[in-house]
Structure 1
Amino acid sequence: MNEKLNNYLNEIHPNEHNWINELEIQAKNENVPIMDRVGINFVMQLTRTSKPEKILEIGTAIGYSALRMVEACPDCSIVTIEKDAERYKQAILNISIQNKQDQIKVILGDALDKLMELSAQKHKFDLIFIDAAKGQYQRFFDLAEPMLNKNGMIITDNVLFRGYVADPEAVPKRYKKMVEKIRNYNTMLMNHPNYKTSIVPVGDGVAVSLKLT
């Protein structure tokens, strides 16, 4: 998104609760990537309107987005997966401080393994939020989407990755393979016969995919 527009949207954003500000400061101080306020506000609005009962999140980090989705949809329950042990501990603590441990279950482990376990256990979800290793988006989608109920929604963050997806020649060498994978993922989403997808230039790019069958 244009930086001036993003700054404007942040300026008119209403003040948040203290716990939200504290989590944002924690993420910044510890260099933990979380969605910016404009991006998470968009995800929360999607959550409010779709009213999912069960949410699967791939990529917990410190629990910020899970807590914000529960804020937007107080009656939902969330299963969220985090690979990093330290972030897992932070998420557990942050969720406990907000007394949301009964609604948000955090699983420690590699998402590829844990998704297969959840699938084998016949779990079903109304909304799936993918916000983990970007180079693995296709594999996350392939493992998670069979667990999505009809008319469910998959939200994927960072699908425009700093604008590099639109200008492959400008991509730094260290990002080339990842950007190529994101471009392929976006193409797959837009052409998937069982989904209708919109990619919105909010934050770092958010794909919203609605399951039709």
Structure 2
Amino acid sequence: MVAVSAKINDHEPTNKLVFSSLEEELRDYAMKNDVPIIQDDGLAMLESIIRIKRPKKILEIGCAIGYSAIRMAKVIGSEIYTIERNQDMYNEAIKNIKKASLEDKIHVFYKDALEAFDLVSNETFDMIFIDAAKAQYMKFFNLYTPLLSEHGVVVCDNMEFHGLVEALDNNEEYMSYSRSVRGIIRKMARFHDELLAKEDFDTTLFEVGDGIAISVKK
């Protein structure tokens, strides 16, 4: 177990991002339609991890409109399996992946990730990227990590939940949020602790974007 926190958000990403015209369209669509996509510095880190680990197969929990799946598939040609539970987002993802001519590299499943294990249970993944319902992160982690290859890596985005996890240290601020938001804050804080306590993974938390956890299987 390694419980490390690294603050690198004050520096430029090591991987300068360049976006295709389609990716610019997706970024614009996400902004206009309040679709959560990974922040640029988080994306730069994710792509750097892919270059270092060179995963043949990546499982993504939370496809949304296909933005991160498209980016990941293009780094070194990894095969992506991605799960999305929202019908509209799934339809957008299918359309966008086709536009990117990546249908042979990206496999999208329309299903709640908590019910989708059987769809991918015969696969072995070198990387898992979790960017879905925040309250379910621990369930996602425990459900899918048995499919992880030796020394595989799990990347979790939004570990700071828009900076709100820190609100637990300020009771007045914490109580100012709705009951549902407070519930997510508590679950994300618990996930922090449980993730760092896992003896079969070495985990590092990075203050990049909205917070990223990198867990490497021992």
TM-score of the superposed pair, with normalisation by structure 2:
0.88
- 2:26 matches 1:23: yes
Deviation at 1:37, TM superposition (A): 1.3
Q: SS in structure 1 opposite 2:123?
A: coil
- 2:119 matches 1:132: no
Q: Whole-Å Cα distance in 2 between the matches of residues 211 and 86 of structure 1?
A: 34
Aligned to 2:210: 204
- Contact 1:55-1:79 within 8 A present in 2 as well: yes
Deviation at 1:15, TM superposition (A): 4.5
Deviation at 1:176, TM superposition (A): 1.0
Aligned to 2:6: none
Aligned to 2:79: 77
* Residue of structure 1 aligned with 2:196, choices 171, 190, 201: 190
Aligned to 1:104: 106
Q: SS in structure 2 opposite 1:161?
A: coil
Q: Whole-Å Cα distance in 1 between the matches of residues 17 and 126 of structure 2?
A: 29
- Contact 1:80-1:104 within 8 A present in 2 as well: yes
Q: Deviations over 1:126-161 (max 9, x none)?
A: 000000000000111111010001100000011111
User: Structure with the greater relative contact order (CA < 8 A, sep ≥ 6): 1 or 2?
Assistant: 2
Aligned to 2:64: 61
Q: SS in structure 1 opposite 2:162?
A: helix
Number of aligned residue pairs: 203
Aligned to 1:37: 40
Aligned to 2:5: none
- Contact 1:116-1:143 within 8 A present in 2 as well: no
- Contact 1:159-1:207 within 8 A present in 2 as well: yes
Give structure 1 stretches of 5+ with no counterpart: none
Aligned to 1:46: 49
More helix by share: 1
Deviation at 1:116, TM superposition (A): 4.1
Q: Whole-Å Cα distance in 2 between the matches of residues 111 and 14 of structure 1?
A: 29
Give structure 2 stretches of 5+ with no counterpart: 1-8
User: Residues 141-156 of structure 1 correspond to what in structure 2 (within 5 A)?
Assistant: 141-156=141-156
TM-score of the superposed pair, with normalisation by structure 1:
0.90
Q: CA RMSD in A?
A: 1.7
Percent pairwise identity: 35
The 10-residue stretch of structure 1 (160-169 or 181-190) with the greater mean CA deviation from structure 2: 160-169
The 10-residue stretch of structure 1 (160-169 or 59-68) with the greater mean CA deviation from structure 2: 160-169
Deviation at 1:9, TM superposition (A): 4.1
- Contact 2:16-2:44 within 8 A present in 1 as well: no
